[in-house]
Each structure stands twice: as C-alpha cells, then as structure tokens.
C-alpha cells in the first residue's frame, strides 16, 4: 500500500448503494464491524426500499447502507465521503447523498445502455462537470468478480453474488484497514461452504489490490481517528431493535417475572420479535399471534397471569391495538408496548423513519385512558429504555408505550456492555397469598398503584375487566365512583414523575436559544448544538426521553429561554403537547416529514436563522 499521502480524518461517512439483492447491507455491516474492532466509534443507517426485490436496475430497487465511523459518533452522518454505487440506478439516486468532492466508486460494467435507460439516463452520466466535482472511480467490479469465479469453477450467477466483496475491498483500501477481520467473519459465517469462503476472500482481496494499483486511490486514502473519548469498557455493535429485545430480557431477569412477547410481524419492528424468539433459553416466551390485536391481547392475558408482558409493533399496528390498550389501562395491568415508528398515516412509508405516532401514543384510546410514554434516543440506549419501560410498568402497574423508530431500530451503534449486577432492581407489586384484606383496586399511598394477584395464588381470586369497577373489585356504575377511579388512574400515571430524574440542559445553558428534541433525533441535534457552540454561538439543548409524564422541572427549563425551537420528525406533535401544558412559553417548530432523519447541516442553518432573528 502506498502510504505517503494519507488523509487524516476525524470521521468518515461511507454509503453503500446497489440493487436490493446486491448485498449492500452486508457490505456495510462488515465495514462497520471491522471499523469498530479496530477502534473507531460507529453508527449505521440502512435505507432500504419496501420491496424485497424491486425490478432489477430500477431506482425503486436501490438499497442503501450508510456507515459513519470516527472518533466520537452521534449519528449515521449527513452526506457521505465515499459512495459505492453498484449500478446506474444507485448512482443516479444516491449521488445527492455524496459531499462535493466525494470519492464515488461505480461498477462500470453495469453501465450498459439498457441499465442506464432503466435508471432514466438518456446520455452518458459521466459529464466533465461531474468528473470535476467528484473523484469517480470506474471499477470493473462485475468482470473482475466473474473472472475470479471462472478460475474457481463458479458460474457467473453465483460469482455475481460476491460483487459486493470487490467493492468492500476497495473501501478497505481507501480507509486503510486490514482484511483479516472480514476473512474471519466469512470463515465463521460460511463454515460449511468452503467454496463460498474461498470465492469471497479472493474477490475481497482482488478489490483491495485493484485499488492499490490505481494511481488516483493513492491520494484518497483516509486514516480515521480512533475513538479516544469513549469510556473504558467492553463494547459491541448493536441495532436498536436487538437492544430493545435485550432490554426486555434484562428486565425479566431482574424482576424475576417471565418475559412474554405477543406480536405480529410488521416493518420496521419485526426484528424485536425475531431476536426474542431466539432466546427461549433465557425464558423468553414469544407468541406470534394471528394479528396485531391478538398480539396485545395475548400480552394482556399473560400480564394477568403474572408475566412481564410486551407487544412490539409499528404505527398501523398500534392503531389496531388501541381498544386493547384501553383494557390494559382499565385493568391496571403492567404491559410494555414497543412502537418502532415509521412514516404514516396508514401504510405510509413502511421502511422510512418518522416520529409521528406521538399523538397516537398519548391520546389514541377511547375514554380517559392515561398511560406512561417514554422514548429511546439512540440505537444503543433502546436497551436502557426498554428496561426502564418494563420497570415502570411492573412497579407502577400501568401500560407503558416505548417509542423508538425505524432509524434507531435498524441503525446500529457501539454499545458499552453493562453488567447485570449494576442494573437497577425491579420490584413487581405482587400481592401476598391469602391476604384477607386484598382488594383488586386497593392502592398504595405513594405510587397509587394496585397490587398484582396472579391466578394460581391462594385466597386472592378476583375478576378484572373492561367495565368500571369500584376499589373493592365488583362492578360499579355509580357516578361518584367513576369520577374517583378516573382520577385515581390519572394520578397513578402523574406520580410516575416522582420517580424519574430531572430534565437536563446541555450545550450552553446561558444561551438565548433552547433547542428541544425528543426520541430518536438526539444524534443529529447533539452534534448540531455542539458544533454551533464550538463556533461561538450560544445554544442550549434539552432532549426528552420521558414524554408522559414529563420530568417535573420541564416548565422551569422552558420558562428560562426567550427562544425555543422544538425539533421533530413530524408536523409538530411534541410542540403541540408542550404548548397545552406550558401555554406561557412561546415555541417555534422545526419539522421534517420526509421519512428521513435530521441532517446536522439543516439544523444548524435553522438555529443560525433563529439566532439572527
């Protein structure tokens, strides 16, 4: 390797794009894993179409995977430094995600007249202007890969499946990384298929060597800064959906309650169920129900019978679960509902991210039906928020909705592995067998939570249900009783605020402008605020994870700032929620409803505009 002209970078964004069958997700994962293992901080973001295999070579079929590596990574990055485009459609649709001057690697073999026409090109895409704006490397990926395949006695179709390895080889060269880590992965993954291992290793090596032979590559090698601000400890890469599943498992172990998940497949939440289904050895009882309603209803039944009961879904599924959620509120049973949000309404944008289920989570039920809503703010902290949601549900006897989103759920991040002994205790409110004073809706003075008496326990048999009950248990249509029970259910949720930490302000707390965010946007918001303050602009920032109830000092914070901007990936739902509670605080909004995460650049532009106003 020519190492004379290495460019040192604090961080680097690489975007892999190709047909949805081109193995771009795998290339991206292999690159991010190799980076993490060699000491970089990472964050990834898959951007894939709703179709499993859209027509070959069309823009509809382009699948992307963005990897952000570097010293201290908050998000999957805005625009990329290196773009890999495996066909003309990927080139055409993804070039807008490349920084000016980016290195763009294309598989030139795929730029046939037919494929270019399918991508919508009427003339040669590589204009002089384009060649000046980017460093375009026209690599003969397909022909090289097929030649290696031929030498190993593999047919073209099979060989083509390894084209992504050639591109990955070039990326490894360009990022000054070694191949051993990925070799080891391939040997593990295809242990029973030595021919596949040999082919992939050969293609990967060939891509690497091809890059070495290219003069232009020698001036485009990046050395990415190692993560030096990270806390010491053991780390792993984790996606938000897996972290959510593990957080629930951890809560089950800590609380001593069996974990039950009743769910129905739905993008982008399915992986929570897929992950938990693997862990019967840890006691995870997963039930794939016949529909979304049966998913939550089975969980409510399991909760009645004493499990840490959960259901996972996305927006349309949450709509279907609304009536049953009301039942969980009425019966005051612990329940965790994970909503991995996607673009809506209706089927909307199933594979794209959005934060537009907030109103539904807060209000989407008949009657006065308060429950707890919390939101995770990074792929890795989905673990802690799932754990926390379960802890609140079990200790306060209430359903809890955990909001994550497609960006957090499918994206990945480094996760500092906790030790279970350091996780907080969870104490479910179990009733005592044969307690003569047990009453189904007797509450404790502090939390206002009822006790949990489980079928099978002696001397506690009782009935619960959707009809209004009096505190002693039997049905009641008494007007005073309904008013009392309604207030008690609300008070129980309100009192959760006594058990959560104060809301914090970061950035420059003495600023004029307060940036407010919630849930999955923390990465881009944190970086935007940090960069602004580094540039000498004063910006304060507060990010919400506890949505309902809000931390008790929320009003004190909001009242301190002259300018407040609430940033969210919807049309202003959190802003509206805050306004109803703090009408004295004027707030502006910054909203994005494009199915995409925030970019740091757009946020800074908006904050600058507000500062100058």
Partner 1 sequence: MEKHFVPKADKEYTKADFQSDQMVKWCPGCGDHAILAALLATFPKTGYKKENVCMVSGIGCSSRIPYYVDTYGFHSIHGRACAIATGVKLANPALSVWVNMGDGDSMAIGGNHLIHAVRRNQDLNITIFNNEIYGLTKGQYSPTTKFGQITKTSPYGTIDYPFNPGELVMGAQGTFFARTLDCVPQLSTECMTRAAKHDGCSVVEVLQNCVIFNDKTHAAITDRAVRDDRTIVLEHGKPMLFGKNKEKGLRFNGRCLETVTIGENGITIDDIMVHDETTEDTGIHMMLAHMGGDLPVALGVIRNVKKVSYTQLYEEQMEEQMTTGKYKCMDDLLNSGDTWEV
Which positions lie near partner 1, rule CB under 8 A?
A: 33, 36-37, 39, 227, 230-237, 246, 249-250, 253, 258, 260, 262, 279-283, 285, 287, 289-291, 293-294, 297-307, 309, 323-324, 327, 331, 417-420, 454-467, 474-475
Inter-CA distances, 283 with 245, 255, 308, 457, Å: 13, 13, 11, 21
Q: CB of residue 384 vs partner 1: minimum separation in angstroms?
A: 13
Q: How far apart are CA 459 and CA 1, in angstroms?
A: 77
256: DSSP letter: T
Spell out the residues 6+ positions from residue 353 whose beta carbon is closer than 8 angstroms to its own.
Answer: 268, 341, 342, 343, 405, 406, 407, 408, 520, 569, 595, 596, 597
Q: How far apart are CA 118 and CA 188, in angstroms?
A: 38
Q: Name the one residue in this structure whose structure tokens are 């537009």.
A: 356
The residue among 297 and 600 lying less far from partner 1, judged by its C-beta, is: 297
The residue among 439 and 538 lying less far from partner 1, judged by its C-beta, is: 439
Half-sphere exposure of 532 (CA within 13 A, CB side): 30
Q: How far apart are CA 613 and CA 607, in angstroms?
A: 10
By the 8 A CB rule, do 174 and 210 touch? no
Spell out the residues 6+ positions from residue 346 whose beta carbon is closer than 8 angstroms to its own.
Answer: 316
The residue among 418 and 509 lying less far from partner 1, judged by its C-beta, is: 418
The residue among 119 and 297 lying less far from partner 1, judged by its C-beta, is: 297
Burial of 520 (0-12, 13-18, 19+ CB in 10 A): buried
Q: CB of residue 527 vs partner 1: minimum separation in angstroms?
A: 20
The residue among 139 and 414 lying less far from partner 1, judged by its C-beta, is: 414
Q: How far apart are CA 249 and CA 161, in angstroms?
A: 36
Spell out the residues 6+ positions from residue 192 whose beta carbon is closer than 8 angstroms to its own.
Answer: none
The residue among 101 and 465 lying less far from partner 1, judged by its C-beta, is: 465
Q: CB of residue 35 vs partner 1: minimum separation in angstroms?
A: 11
Q: How far apart are CA 462 and CA 443, in angstroms?
A: 16
Q: CB of residue 529 vs partner 1: minimum separation in angstroms?
A: 25
**Three-state secondary-structure class, residue 265:** coil
The residue among 257 and 543 lying less far from partner 1, judged by its C-beta, is: 257
Q: CB of residue 162 vs partner 1: minimum separation in angstroms?
A: 22
**Three-state secondary-structure class, residue 260:** strand
Q: CB of residue 367 vs partner 1: minimum separation in angstroms?
A: 13
Q: CB of residue 414 vs partner 1: minimum separation in angstroms?
A: 8
Q: Phi and psi for 343 in degrees, rounded to 5? A: -65, 130
The residue among 281 and 534 lying less far from partner 1, judged by its C-beta, is: 281
Q: CB of residue 497 vs partner 1: minimum separation in angstroms?
A: 29
């Amino acid at each position: 390797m020519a190492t004379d002209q290495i460019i040192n970078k604090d961080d680097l964004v690489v975007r892999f794009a190709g047909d949805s069958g081109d193995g771009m997700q795998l290339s991206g994962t292999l690159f991010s894993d190799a980076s993490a293992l060699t000491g970089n901080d990472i964050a990834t973001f898959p951007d894939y179409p709703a179709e499993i295999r859209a027509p070959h070579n069309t823009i509809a079929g382009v699948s992307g995977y963005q990897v952000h590596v570097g010293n201290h990574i908050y998000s999957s990055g805005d625009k990329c430094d290196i773009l890999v485009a495996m066909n003309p459609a990927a080139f055409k649709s993804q070039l807008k995600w490349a920084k000016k001057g980016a290195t763009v690697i294309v598989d030139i073999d795929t730029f046939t007249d037919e494929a270019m026409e399918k991508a919508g090109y009427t003339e040669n895409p590589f204009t002089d202007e384009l060649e000046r704006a980017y460093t375009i490397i026209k690599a003969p990926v397909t022909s090289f890969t097929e030649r290696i395949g031929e030498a190993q006695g593999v047919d073209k179709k099979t060989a083509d499946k390894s084209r992504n390895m050639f591109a990955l080889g070039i990326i490894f060269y360009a990022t000054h990384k070694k191949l051993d880590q990925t070799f080891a992965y391939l040997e593990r993954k295809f242990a029973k298929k030595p021919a596949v291992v040999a082919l992939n290793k050969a293609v990967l090596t060939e891509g690497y060597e091809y890059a070495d032979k290219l003069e232009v590559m020698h001036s485009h090698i990046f050395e990415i800064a190692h993560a030096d601000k990270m806390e010491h400890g053991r780390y792993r890469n984790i996606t938000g959906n897996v972290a959510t599943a593990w957080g629930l498992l951890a809560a089950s172990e800590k609380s001593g309650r069996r974990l039950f998940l009743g769910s129905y497949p739905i993008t982008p939440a399915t992986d929570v169920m897929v992950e938990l289904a693997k862990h019967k050895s840890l006691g995870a009882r997963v039930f794939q129900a016949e529909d979304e309603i049966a998913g939550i209803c089975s969980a409510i039944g399991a909760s009645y019978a004493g499990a840490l009961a959960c259901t996972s879904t996305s927006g349309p599924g949450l709509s279907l679960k609304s009536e049953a959620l009301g039942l969980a509120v009425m019966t005051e049973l612990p329940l965790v509902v994970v909503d991995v949000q996607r673009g809506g309404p209706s089927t909307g944008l199933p594979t794209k991210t959005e934060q537009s289920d907030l109103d539904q989570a807060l209000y989407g039920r008949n009657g006065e039906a308060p429950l707890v809503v919390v939101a995770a703010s990074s792929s890795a902290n989905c673990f802690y928020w799932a754990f926390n949601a379960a802890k609140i549900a079990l200790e306060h006897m209430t359903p809890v909705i955990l909001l994550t989103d497609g960006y957090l759920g499918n994206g990945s991040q480094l996760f500092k592995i906790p030790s279970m002994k350091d996780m907080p205790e969870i104490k479910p409110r179990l009733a005592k067998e044969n307690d003569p004073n047990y009453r189904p809706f007797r509450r404790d003075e502090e939390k206002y939570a009822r006790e949990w008496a489980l079928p099978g326990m002696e001397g506690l048999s009782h009935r619960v249900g959707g009809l209004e009950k009096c505190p002693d248990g039997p049905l009641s249509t008494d007007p005073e009783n309904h008013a009392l029970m309604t207030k008690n259910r609300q008070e129980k949720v309100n009192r959760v605020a006594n058990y959560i930490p104060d809301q914090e302000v970061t950035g420059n707390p003495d600023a004029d402008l307060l940036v407010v965010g919630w849930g999955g946007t923390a990465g881009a918001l944190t970086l935007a605020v940090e960069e602004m303050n580094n540039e000498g602009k004063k910006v304060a920032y507060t990010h919400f994870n506890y949505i309902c109830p809000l931390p008790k000092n929320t009003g004190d914070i909001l009242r301190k700032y002259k300018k407040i901007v609430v940033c969210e990936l919807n049309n202003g739902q959190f802003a509206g929620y805050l306004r109803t509670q703090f009408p004295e605080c004027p707030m502006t909004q910054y909203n994005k409803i494009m199915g995409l995460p925030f970019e740091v650049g757009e946020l800074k532009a908006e904050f600058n505009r507000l500062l100058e106003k």
